[in-house]
């Protein structure tokens, strides 16, 4: 196994071990999950952590990962003013992104139900890099058509709360977002409580397939590979590409 992947896998497992008892689930997502062989020296490590924002001890969580506690963010999260935010830090030569989802955010993605809300810190150095905290985002539908979606926002102390779309849908089609990609592109489950993450991802794929068949039919001319950003299309391995091409017409993925 490639050394750069093993480095990130070890760090991810260490983080998971430190915080797992505070969580519902811990996952590796993005390229480290779906294409270990292509991980490079500068590849970021992205993880999704599913928790119950209303009951987790955020001060304890920050302490366990050796990050500076952010009381305003913790207060907002506990009050469910948003249901996802990220903690990002550098471990030269790459970054680690811990993307915290409240259980309601996870359930919204599974059910393909509505939108989530994300917190963007004021003057956050990673704001431009992470599309999830941008004021607008480019989505693609199953024919590859692009659409810019602007996010409703509300300024609050310390930053902005943004409407965050796991997907977007209008008369021109179904457009997939990053939270859809996180659960679709072979996430690695490091920890889960009572199989809630595994069962949730299975249910998510069932719901997604049912929706797409209802909306588009079961033909091969449209597919989930078309809905990926171009950069992501170039990064995924051939076996995963084939699964995305056949997702609507196959029940094996």
E strand spans, the chain: 25-29, 45-51, 84-91, 94-102, 116-121, 136-141, 146-150, 153-156, 159-164, 167-170, 173-176, 188-192
Kindly state the average pLDDT of the residues 12-25: 98
- Percentage of residues in the chain having pLDDT higher than 90: 87
The residues pairing with 76 across neighbouring beta strands, listed in sequence order, are none
Per residue in 153-187, pLDDT (tens digit) is: 999 999 999 999 999 999 999 999 999 999 999 99
Q: Looking up tokens 């102390």, which residue turns up?
A: 157
Domain boundaries in the chain?
3-245
- CA 154 to the chain's CA centroid: 22
What is the rounded distance in angstroms from the CA atom of residue 175 to the CA atom of residue 165?
Answer: 10
Report pLDDT for 130.
77
Report pLDDT for 252.
64
Kindly state the average pLDDT of the residues 191-210: 97
- Give the pLDDT band of residue 6 (cuts 50, 70, 90): very high
Report pLDDT for 218.
67
Tokens coding 239? 């076996």
Kindly state the average pLDDT of the residues 121-131: 80
């Amino acid at each position: 196994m490639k050394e750069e992947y093993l480095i990130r896998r070890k760090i991810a497992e260490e983080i998971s071990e430190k915080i797992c008892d505070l969580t519902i689930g811990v996952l590796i997502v993005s390229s480290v999950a779906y294409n270990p062989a292509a991980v490079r020296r500068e590849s970021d490590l992205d993880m999704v952590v599913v928790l119950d924002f209303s009951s987790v001890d955020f001060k304890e969580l920050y302490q366990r990962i050796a990050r500076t506690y952010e009381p305003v963010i913790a207060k907002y999260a506990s009050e469910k003013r948003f249901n996802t935010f990220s903690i990002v830090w550098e471990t030269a030569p790459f970054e680690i992104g811990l993307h915290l989802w409240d259980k309601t955010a996870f359930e919204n993605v599974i059910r393909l139900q509505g939108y989530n809300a994300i917190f963007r810190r004021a003057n956050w150095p990673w704001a431009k890099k992470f599309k999830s905290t941008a004021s607008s985002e480019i989505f693609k539908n199953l024919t590859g058509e692009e659409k810019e979606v602007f996010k409703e926002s509300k300024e609050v102390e310390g930053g902005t709360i943004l409407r965050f779309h796991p997907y977007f849908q209008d008369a021109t089609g179904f457009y997939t977002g990053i939270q859809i990609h996180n659960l679709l592109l072979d996430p690695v489950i490091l920890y889960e409580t009572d199989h809630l993450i595994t069962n949730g991802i299975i249910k998510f794929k069932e719901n997604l397939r049912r929706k797409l068949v209802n909306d588009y039919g079961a033909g091969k001319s449209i597919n989930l590979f078309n809905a990926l950003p171009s950069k992501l299309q170039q990064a995924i391995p051939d076996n995963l590409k084939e699964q995305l091409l056949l997702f609507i017409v196959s029940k094996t993925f």
